[in-house]
Structure 1
Amino acid sequence: MVTETLKKQIDRFLLAFGFSLMFGIMLLGQEFRQAVGEAVGIFMDPVLMLVGEQNFHLILLVMAAITAIYASLIQKYTMDWDLMRNTQERMKVFQKEFREAQLSQNTYMLKKLEDQRKEMMEDQMKMSKQQFKPMAYISIISLPLFMWAYYFISGHEAATMVFPFWGEQLLTTSAIGPFQHWIYWYFISSLGVSQLVRKALNIGGV
């Protein structure tokens, strides 16, 4: 009983910490983001010194891989993927039957489907609640690392990287829309590793 209570307390603490980070970065502005970046720099700066600042893109790649693996594992063990898949399949069938009932003006079937819609909404609410917990857990690792990268790159605007097709580019210049090249590289790296991990762990039916 004590162990279960402690587990719940740790869970609540991690959720509160994760969401506090998320809202802090969104609402408290540049000073908070810089403070988080500086704090993480205590651990990351020595690593960067070993690798070399000219290889900052490799650090981004490793960070993206760590985040992708961590996020995939969190999602695998905190979400009910069977419920999600079943709900999605039921929703597809429901939408098809609802359209057919509307077209045929089948009032009996429409009433029956309206009752079924309530059950579907309950399952969707469960799915939504499940997605909040992984989001908070993931932010505990991913946001501080990202803020450190943001803090570092802000002070090294001359950093460059050679991209396929684009050639050598400043990491702080725009790649696509508002996204700078370093963010694009981080995102692409994370996406690639995430797909491999999700495939290996059979997460979400990928």
Structure 2
Amino acid sequence: MGRTGEKARSLVAEDPAFAEALTVVLDRSGHAADEPTPDGGTHTIRWADVSDDLTSGQWGRLIETGILHDADGDGFAVSNPDEIRAALGDDSVETDVEDEDSGWSTYDKLAGLAALSLFPAYAVMPIRNAVGQAADVIFGPFDAVLPFYAVVIILSVLTGLYSVLLQSNLMNTEKMGAIQEQMNDIQERRKEAKERGDDAALDRIQEEQMDAMSDQLGMFKEQFRPMVWILLLTIPVFVWMYWKTGVRGGGAEHIVAAERSIVLPMLGRMELTEQIGGFVWVWLVWYFLISISFRQIIQKSLNLTTTPTG
């Protein structure tokens, strides 16, 4: 849905009476049935045409938001009537962030609790050993036939694949894009009202901005929902790699001598457990290099979207 449609939805969310006002404007301007305009002109409308059904405040808001624009002194024209009709026919309301699409299910909440319960494995050695040995049942067969750096490649590709799939399927990117566009529109209208010194408009926009805060909360929930599943699946992978290399607390190392080094771009041959710059391990850098690269390849090849779309 385009910008005009989003403005129409925003007005209806702000005040449901705008649904009737927009319907009246479309009808009186000749757009309700999309009927042709005589002589190839433009459908226009004046205040006198709708004053019996619209308040002056509603009329002013339609002009302020750009839904009605000046038609060269011959009244006002309706901007993108198709988008407005689509917005009025859409039963979803942007400000309703507690719907089924953006709400967390019981499984989502359980996944979040399970992911939180795994975090101590990074610092507490007995928990790390338990999680590492359990994960070794899955990753051990790969490690038995491949060098550790090759296993890291497999794990980075695997985590990148399910991360993209989870984000693409659990996030409503179109809704997030609509919320983002709505907030940008509010900011633009606020700036314009401030420049022309319209205090009444600023008050209305301030109220609308406060109402839109719930939309932003919904967008954050949309973004974080797949993250709990990604963490639940990824923490055991990282704990296993920590357990395998023996870092973070001086645990036993489970890498044979022949697999201890790797050649990194621009850095040359380095030990996997060596730290770059004194704060990040070589094997971790290797993981992120592969993960970032393959994530982009996976996203492009599968044509998946993980960011808000307009």
TM-score (norm 2): 0.56
Secondary structure at the counterpart of residue 59 of structure 1: helix
Cα shift readout 1:23-46 (whole Å, capped 9, x = no counterpart): 431488323233211210122122
Instruction: Name the SS for the 1:140 alignment partner.
Output: helix
Q: TM-score, normalising length from structure 1?
A: 0.81
Distance 1:175 1:88, change over 3 A: farther
* Aligned partner of residue 124 in structure 2, secondary structure: helix
Q: Which structure 2 residues correspond to residues 47-58 of structure 1 after superposition, within 5 A?
A: 47-51=142-146, 55-58=147-150
Aligned positions of 1:161-180 closer than 5 A: 161-175=262-276, 178-180=279-281
Alpha-carbon contact 1:63-1:145 (below 8 Å) kept: yes
| 5+ long unaligned stretches in structure 2 | 1-104, 247-252
Shift of 1:69: 0.6
1:153 to 245, 250, 262: 245
Partner of 1:121: 213
- Which of the pair has the greater relative contact order for Cα pairs under 8 Å at 6+ separation? 1
1:19 aligns with 2:113: yes
Asked whether the 8 Å contact 2:121–2:131 carries over to 1, the reply is no
Q: Is the 8 A contact 1:15 1:133 kept in 2?
A: no
1:107 aligned residue:
199
- Tell me which residue corresponds to 1:194: 295
SS in 1 for 2:273: coil
Which secondary structure does the structure 2 equivalent of 1:203 belong to? Answer: coil
**Number of aligned positions between the proteins:** 193
Residues 62-71 or 150-159, more deviating: 150-159
Q: Which has the larger radius of gyration?
A: 2
Q: Does 1:135 align with 2:220?
A: no
Residue 177 (structure 1) shift: 6.1
5+ residue gaps, structure 1: 1-10
Q: Do structure 1's residue 75 and structure 2's residue 167 form an aligned pair?
A: yes
Counterparts in 2 of 1:106 and 1:156: CA distance versus 1, 3 Å: farther
> In structure 1, which of residues 184, 188, 206 is the aligned counterpart of residue 285 of structure 2?
184
Structure with more of its chain in helix, by fraction: 1
- 1:182 deviation in Å? 1.1
Q: 1:30 aligns with which of 117, 124, 127?
A: 124
Which residue does the alignment assign to 1:204? Answer: 306
Q: Which residue of 2 aligns with 1:42?
A: 137
Shift of 1:82: 0.2
Aligned-pair distance for 1:168?
A: 0.4
Overall identity of the aligned pairs, in %: 26
Name the aligned partner's letter for residue 306 of structure 2.
G
- For 1:144, the equivalent position in structure 2 comes to 236
